[in-house]
Homo-oligomer: A and B are copies of this chain.
Amino acid sequence: MRAKPDLPLDAVGVGNAIVDVIANVSDDFLVEQGVVKGAMTLIDAERATSLYAAMPPGMEVSGGSAANTMAGIASLGGRASYIGKVRDDQLGEVFRHDTKAGGVAFDVPAATLGEPTARSLIQVTPDGERSMNTFLGISAHLSPTDIDESLVESAAITYCEGYLWDRPEAKDAIRHAMKVASDAGRIVSLTLSDSFCVERHRAEWLDLIADHVDLVFANEAEACSMFETDDFDSAVDGLADLVEVAAVTRSAKGSVVMSGGERIDIGVTPADHVVDATGAGDQYAAGFIYGLSIGADMLRCGELGSIAAGEVISHVGARPHVELAQLIRVPHS
């Protein structure tokens, strides 16, 4: 797989524009509140209010899976842009500021009517695992008309969030973005996002991936859910049959890249201490896509993913705290 290097952008991400509200909780809190550990659960406004009221003091940090990935690419030195929808409210301003300040172009105008900017109430347990409860708000109203076609055509890779598939308008927006990218000869990429998300959309996604996706990202649970198997190897083989390249992460066990019939196993970049797993998959994708943009081979792409993921799990929040470009320099001996 080769990304065109002579385009204005390395990647454009399409996703739910979300501000994360992150708090540390005990495992008991998850049980009391009926939160599904490790998953992304969609919640309505009422549940968002009651769950937030029960949560300890938190911090607000811009998130959103594809936006996190674009922030990672920019931090690595790549050229990234973002398509997603916020309201003209304070959280929308926070999201726009953080995204642009992180070096990602983001010019979709804020909606002046409708639901508020999306937020995800994220509980981090002492083991560093994150459980997400997302109120999609206006982000789910991303529609095909929000897809700037010339922007998509100007990017070597179009990266879409599976999360968007949960709402009809946003699903049409993904389909449109993928078609524009594909028609222009660009690489189309999809992240499966969440195993419950896979369950909800398995049949449609099998077709979507086979027909319209070149590069798929998944974690172990998502890949296994896609093929309703507990066997990791058969799940990655299944993905490899559908796409040109599949990159599957498996937490502490590293990742596997399937490309042109070849399987490449990649180790993790160990973090001193896993503080918050939020964004690990997003940053793996960032490193991988950045690798493609600089013409790296599949092994190096996966290593770059591991390095970016290793940084983000060492602190609270889903976007890099340091310039990732500094971390990937090959040391001179």
Q: Which residues of B contact A21 (CB under 8 A)?
A: 94
Docked-complex contact B97 and A53, CB < 8 angstroms: yes
Docked-complex contact A59 and B57, CB < 8 angstroms: no
Docked-complex contact B59 and A61, CB < 8 angstroms: yes
Q: Which residues of B contact A59 (CB under 8 A)?
A: 59-61, 317
Q: Which residues of B contact A89 (CB under 8 A)?
A: 89-90
Residue A52 at the chain B interface, CB threshold 8 Å: yes
Number of interface residues of A (CB under 8 A): 27
Docked-complex contact A56 and B101, CB < 8 angstroms: yes
Asked whether A90 and B116 contact (CB < 8 A) given A97-B53, A101-B55, A319-B57, the answer is yes
Docked-complex contact B60 and A94, CB < 8 angstroms: yes
Oligomeric state, in copies: 2
Q: Mark A83-125, 1 if CB is under 8 A from B, else 0.
A: 0000001110010011101100000000000001100000000
Rounded to whole angstroms, the CA-CA distance of A21 and B95 in the bound complex is: 12
Q: Which residues of B contact A56 (CB under 8 A)?
A: 101-102
Chief secondary structure at chain A's binding surface: mixed
Residue A193 at the chain B interface, CB threshold 8 Å: no
Give A49's nearest chain B residue, CB to CB.
B93
Give A53's nearest chain B residue, CB to CB.
B97
Which residue among A52, A53, A71, A101 has the maximum number of chain B CB atoms within 10 Å of its CB?
A101
Which residue among A98, A317, A319 has the maximum number of chain B CB atoms within 10 Å of its CB?
A98
Asked whether A98 and B61 contact (CB < 8 A) given A89-B90, A90-B91, A116-B90, the answer is no
Rounded to whole angstroms, the CA-CA distance of A61 and B59 in the bound complex is: 5
Give A91's nearest chain B residue, CB to CB.
B90
Top 10 nearest A-B pairs by Cβ distance? A60-B60, A57-B98, A90-B90, A57-B101, A59-B61, A57-B102, A59-B59, A90-B91, A56-B101, A89-B90
Task: List 15 contacting pairs A-B, 8 Å CB cutoff, sorted by A.
Answer: A52-B97, A55-B97, A56-B101, A57-B62, A57-B97, A57-B319, A58-B97, A58-B101, A59-B60, A59-B61, A60-B94, A89-B89, A90-B90, A90-B91, A90-B117
Interface, chain A (partner B; CB < 8 A): 21, 24, 52-53, 55-62, 71, 89-91, 94, 97-99, 101-102, 116-117, 317, 319, 321
